[in-house]
Amino acid sequence: MDDSGASTSRTTLIVVFGGQSAEHDISCVTAAHVMRAIDRDRYNLLAIGIDRSGGWHLAEAAMAALDREPDHPVPLEATGREVSSVPVLHAAASTGPVVVMPLLHGPLGEDGTIQGMLDLLDLPYVGSGVLGSAVSMDKAMTKNLLASFGIPQPRFVALRDHEVTPSRLDEVAATLGLPLFVKPANMGSSVGVAKVSTIEELAPCARAALSYDEWIVCEEAIVGREIEVAVLGNIDPMASVAGEVIPGNDFYDYEDKYVTDGARLVIPADLDERHSDEVRALAVRIFALLRCEGLARVDFFYEPDGRGFLCNEINTMPGFTPISMYPNLWRASGVSYPELVDRLVNLALERHSRRRRNTAR
């Protein structure tokens, strides 16, 4: 204790990474770079990796491997010590202040599932809660909700697996026109996304998307610029400068994001002040409408001579690799990588304290 009576114990950051989704490797790379940025003089660090089968591992060896080769993660099964999730989290919490950083992308991580577990364990964590995470992960629900609030977005059709029939796909193509995009509803990092240029391609692309989720989203192809805004905060969120993605491929796909680094990020985007303010305000509004907290990246298409800014999607746990847009947008806005981690930790603690006041009896 210091002279004021405040505890001097350091906060333990529990970094949870990996997971069972198709974005497992991306999560490992994100975690490696976040762990490198954490100030070990300010925080205790505990890394927990979730393997592809759902096993939880205390990942001391994996941490060392990630430190050596952060962009080439090693299999958790070969490096970590398997543990039971609830006891290890309780044990960490018993040592002093704890914040969990669930750096998981995709289903069973970014979709409200682990957030619900952490709520039951009464542990503060970085990012949105159950509702914001679940709604934002599901592209179909996100689009339907935003449509109800009049948020401009590309035309779309959401289909469940049993609705994907030849006649229904013909209707979708007639409604949206070709080319169009097909996406799994609950997936990120452009996994399973395909651009469909002919009617013959539509059915196989829909089947491929259904291998990731039972819902898919078909969306009109937009000819326009790709603008992204990072949002940070809880009750009073703020927006970063806007950035622009200029894809190296036909569209900003998985390879462009994580393999070839072929896309070019322009930060800040070449927008006049009025349009920059407009898209930043729209990003904050979308963040609030979807009940997001902590952090998110909101992606837009911009039709300069058409409908203006159209919301494409929101990511409640955006990538944190050195080439990722989210940390680069904040760096350009005056927030360094380590400071961004500090802010996220403080937001997690603030949210947890506020929610406990509302739920305590």
Catalytic residues: 23, 189, 258, 297, 299, 313, 315, 319
d(CA 333, CA 242): 9
Taking CA atoms, 57 is separated from 12, 73, 202, in Å, by 17, 14, 41
Strand partners, 265: 245
Give Cα separations from 168 to 145, 156, 158, 162, 175 (angstroms).
23, 14, 11, 10, 10
Nearest to 159 by CA among 174, 131, 140: 140
HSE, side-chain direction, 13 A CA sphere, residue 221: 17
264 C-beta neighbours (distance < 10 Å), count: 11
Closest CA to 98 of 114, 127, 118: 118
* Cβ 230 vs Cβ 252: under 8 Å: no
Closest CA to 55 of 100, 110, 18: 18
Torsion of CA 110, 204, 313, 309, to 10 degrees: 170
Cβ atoms of 106 and 19 closer than 8 Å: yes
Q: What's the angle, vertex CA 271, arms to CA 265 and CA 273, rounded to 5?
A: 135
Element (H, E) at 243: strand 238-246
**Three-state SS for 276?**
helix
Nearest-10 Cα torsion for 194, 196, 201, 207: 40
- Only one residue has tokens 């390879």, namely 255
